[in-house]
């Protein structure tokens, strides 16, 4: 845990958030500024500023969790698809330096990214 990291505080329950899922290693929250209704962020409880700083043991659990959240999101929102996005570094659009994965529901191809 990094003392001045907002996502550490959220992931570890020090700051309340719209939690949609929690287990030993992760908290999944609703994005404060959603790209689409239902946009979630997977936050590991372990701090690493980006993909390169994360332990492989944690990373091995990320895609199975993304699958679980994606399935639940499609069911809950009626989305026709979803994006799984993960940014590394300011040049790539990362604004919070605590590794996280976006799960973004999509309802129409014209709204999708890349
Ligand atoms: P990045 O651009 O770093 O990949 O994504 C950061 C995301 O975190 C953005 O989509 C932003 O809206 C979201 N975010 C930033 N601060 C907070 C916060 O305090 N709470 C929540 N729920 N989301 C946040
Ligand atoms: Zn952190």
Residues 39, 98, 100, 102: which is the catalytic one? 100
pLDDT tens-digit profile of 56-94?
Answer: 999 999 999 999 999 999 999 999 999 999 999 999 999
Instruction: Please say if 98 is a catalytic residue.
Output: no
ipTM of the modeled complex: 0.98
Say how many C-beta atoms besides its own lie within 10 A of residue 48's C-beta.
Answer: 16
Cβ atoms of residues 47 and 98 within 8 Å: yes
* pLDDT at res. 48: 98
CATH fold label, 6-111: HIT family, subunit A (3.30.428)
Pocket of ligand 1 (CB under 6 A): 6, 17, 29-33, 41, 87, 93-96
Contacts of 80 (CB under 8 A, 6+ apart): 106, 107, 108
Nearest to 24 by CA among 40, 38, 13, 39: 13
pTM exceeds 0.80 for this model: yes
* pLDDT at res. 114: 54
Q: Residues lining ligand 2 (ion), CB within 5 A?
A: 2, 5, 7-8, 47, 98
In the chain, domain spans = 6-111
């Amino acid at each position: 845990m990094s003392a001045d990291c907002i996502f550490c505080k959220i992931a570890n329950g020090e700051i309340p958030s719209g939690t949609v899922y929690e287990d030993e290693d992760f908290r999944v929250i609703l994005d404060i500024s959603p790209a689409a209704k239902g946009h979630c962020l997977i936050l590991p409880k372990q701090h690493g500023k980006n993909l390169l700083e994360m332990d492989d043991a944690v990373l091995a659990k990320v895609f199975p969790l993304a699958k679980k959240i994606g399935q639940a999101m499609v069911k809950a929102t009626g989305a026709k698809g979803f994006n799984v996005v993960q940014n590394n570094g300011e040049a790539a659009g990362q604004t919070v330096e605590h590794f996280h994965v976006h799960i973004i529901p999509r309802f129409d191809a014209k709204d999708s990214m890349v």
